[in-house]
Homo-oligomer: A and B are copies of this chain.
């Protein structure tokens, strides 16, 4: 056995993990200047928070959106690996910056805690998945990742395989008067994931209604490929 394999003490940067999505949260209290030069951040901060996961992009972005609202921190990088451990979607790498390590650690902790909510409307079958997200007031994470107007209601309606997301989007938009920010698909606005997803904003009630209509049609379509769509946490959009 090699020595470096035996130590069980955790490093100071560690904040916490969540089983869902193989998610890990960390904080670098004073990042190396040479590394900072090579990272691709929208703004330089010496205190960095890191949220990283194998499965889940929307849930982590929404969770971080809540976290930056309640702490003195800012989202400076969101990158979406083509992952989900063989599934159809993304993993995520989210970096936040701040001035005080305790702020940043708290933000990462808030994000980790929010995952059991933001995974509530992710439905899986062996054939694919659906993801629905809604916030009455978008903040920096939704803005950087999806172009959501800050302070306005924002909704995400996603289906995989991607074609299901096309029909979900059509149904959702027809249901209520919302603004269509963009439609992401395997070749546009994703990292070649097998997802079709529409990003919408507007009046809070309308956005919520559109998201729920998209969910309804998505569940019916995904079920046609076999299996019953199942969420790991209770649905939060109602």
Contact = CB atoms under 8 A, between A and B. Distances in A.
B161 A22 contact: yes
A39 B53 CA distance: 29
B198 A24 contact: no
Given A4-B212, A86-B86, A93-B186, A170 B28 contact: yes
Nearest to A123: B5
B225 A167 contact: no
A35 B2 contact: no
7 contacts: A4-B216, A7-B219, A10-B224, A11-B220, A32-B169, A35-B169, A40-B187
A97 interface: no
Interface stretch (A77-85, A98-106, A134-142): A77-85
Interface residues of A, number: 86
A217 interface: yes
B35 A183 contact: yes
Contacts of A185: 39-40, 79, 93
A71 B197 CA distance: 29
A222 to B, nearest CB: 9
A39 B170 CA distance: 11
Instruction: Indicate the member of A51, A81, A166, A228 with the most B CB atoms within 10 Å.
Output: A81
Q: 3 tightest CB-CB pairs across the interface, nearest first?
A: A52-B163, A86-B86, A81-B194
